Amino acid sequence: MRRKEKEITDLSKIEVIIQKAQICRLGFCDGNLPYIVPMNFGYADKCLYFHCAKEGKKLDILRKNNNVCFEIDVDHELILSDEKACSGTAKFRSVIGFGKAEIIEDNKEKISALNQLMEHYTGKSAFEYLDEQVKNITIIKVIIESMGGKESGY
């Protein structure tokens, strides 16, 4: 990172950003073109969890190439200056990372992943799911290989 004073390397601080975020942008490698999708997510043990339909573009891409990147950001604030154009700044905290994605097929693992998602948004960790619900969704698990954070204005 060019501006080392903005870098966040402490995993606990990075995880605070992840837990606070509402959306994770997941980037796929579609041949030589990037494909980015904003998604709801859960996080546990250096893994991200996403749910989606049983078919679609992101799964088609993932089946060909499981390398992914992700971006999460929180605490945005635009600081404008009336004195000169382009003299404003922004406050934010963000995390960018890379990993390998896999599709979870086992229903027990799917339920565990769904609980991670639900806990992220509700604060509760144990839910009951209908067998048909679990059967009709796909869970993408991203095993994080590396990630780092950045903050500006804090």
Distance of CA 146 to the CA centre of its chain: 13
Task: Say if strands 42-44 and 138-152 run parallel, antiparallel, or are unpaired.
Answer: unpaired
Domain around 60? 4-152
Residues 103, 89: Cα–Cα separation, whole Å: 40
Residues 3, 17: Cα–Cα separation, whole Å: 19
What CATH number should be reported for the domain holding residue 23?
2.30.110.10
For residue 132, what is the DSSP state?
H
pLDDT at 108: 94
What single-letter amino acid sits at 128?
Answer: E
Both structure tokens of 7 = 């870098």
Does the pTM surpass 0.85? The reply is yes
Distance of CA 71 to the CA centre of its chain: 6
pLDDT tens for each residue of the chain, 154 residues long: 677 677 899 999 999 999 999 999 999 999 999 999 999 999 999 999 999 999 999 999 999 999 999 999 999 988 887 777 777 778 999 999 999 999 999 999 999 999 999 999 999 988 999 999 999 999 999 999 999 999 998 7
Structural domain tally of the chain?
1
The kind and range of the H/E element at 141 are: strand 138-152
Exposure string over 53-88, b if 16+ CB within 10 A, otherwise e: eeeeebbebbeeebebbbbbbbeeeeeeeeeeeeee
